[in-house]
Amino acid sequence: MDIFERLKSGEPIHMINVPEYHAVAHKEMDRCRKLCFQINHTIPERAEIHPLEKELFSTGLSDKSYFTPPFQVDYANQVTVGEGVFANHDLTIMGAGGVTLEDGVMIGPHATILTVNHDLKDLQILKCKTVTIKKGAWIGANVTILPGVTIGEGAVIGSASVVTKDVEPHTVVVGNPAKMIKRMEE
C-alpha cells in the first residue's frame, strides 16, 4: 500500500519516522498549499479560478462544481468531488484520510472537514478516518465534521454544529455534538 492507502486504512503513521510520509505526503501538501495560495489570490472570476481548482483536485472536478475562495485543502488528491458540489468561502479540508463529496453537496461558509487525529500518547502519530458526505447533503455555516463521519443522503447539518458520528439520511442535526432534531420526507 502507498502512504495514502495506509493513512485511509487507519494505520497509525508517525509523521517523523515514516520516510514515505515525508517523500510523498509532504510533496502533495506542498502542491496543494501553493495552488490554494494561487487560487486565493486570483481575481474572483470563475474563468480564472476554475482551471486552478481543476488542477488542485487532480482526482477530477466537474465544470458544475465550484469552491469559493478563499479555502484551504491539504491533500486534494485524496478528495473526490461529485457533480454540482458547491462550497462557500473559508472551507478547510484536512483530507489525508480521504474525503468524498457526492453529487449535489452544498457546504456553507467557514466549514471544516477533518480526517486526521493524533495519538494521545504520541502526538507525532497520525490516525486518519475517511469522511463521506452523501448526495444532496447540506452542510451549514461554521460546521465541523470529525474523522470517520458519514453524512447521509439529503441530510442537513445546522450551522455551528460539530458532527462527531454518522448522520442518517434525510435528517436534520444540530448542536455540539450534533444531534438529530427532525426526520424529513425523502
DSSP string, 134-170: -TT-EE-TT-EE-TT-EEPTT-EE-TT-EE-S-B-TT
* pLDDT tens digits along 104-127: 999 999 999 999 999 999 999 999
Which residues are annotated as catalytic?
118
Residue 59 has a pLDDT of 79
User: Coil, strand, or helix at residue 176?
Assistant: coil
Residue 44 has a pLDDT of 85
* pLDDT tens digits along 36-48: 999 999 998 989 9
Of the candidates 106, 83, 79, 117, the residue with the CA atom closest to the CA atom of residue 95:
79
The pTM of the full predicted model, rounded to 2 decimals, is 0.95
Taking CA atoms, 55 is separated from 31, 61, 164, in Å, by 10, 9, 31
Q: Residue 71 in contact with residue 40, Cβ under 8 Å?
A: yes
Give residue 127's domain range.
Answer: 3-183
Over 80: is that where the pLDDT of 185 sits? Answer: no
* pLDDT tens digits along 128-173: 999 999 999 999 999 999 999 999 999 999 999 999 999 999 999 9
Taking each continuous run of H as one helix and of E as one strand, the counts in the chain are 4, 19
Task: Report, as an integer, the average pLDDT of 16-28.
Answer: 91
Pairing state between β 131-133 and 99-101: parallel
Residue that the C-alpha cell 486552478 belongs to: 52
Residue 186 has a pLDDT of 60
* pLDDT tens digits along 5-19: 999 999 999 999 999
Strand partners, 172: 156, 182
Q: How far apart are CA 174 and CA 132, in angstroms?
A: 18
CATH of the domain at 61: 2.160.10.10
Residue 38 has a pLDDT of 97
- Total tally of structural domains belonging to the chain: 1
Furthest CA-CA distance within the chain: 50
Of the candidates 110, 36, 100, 127, the residue with the CA atom closest to the CA atom of residue 73:
36
* pLDDT tens digits along 55-108: 999 878 999 999 999 999 999 999 999 999 999 999 999 999 999 999 999 999
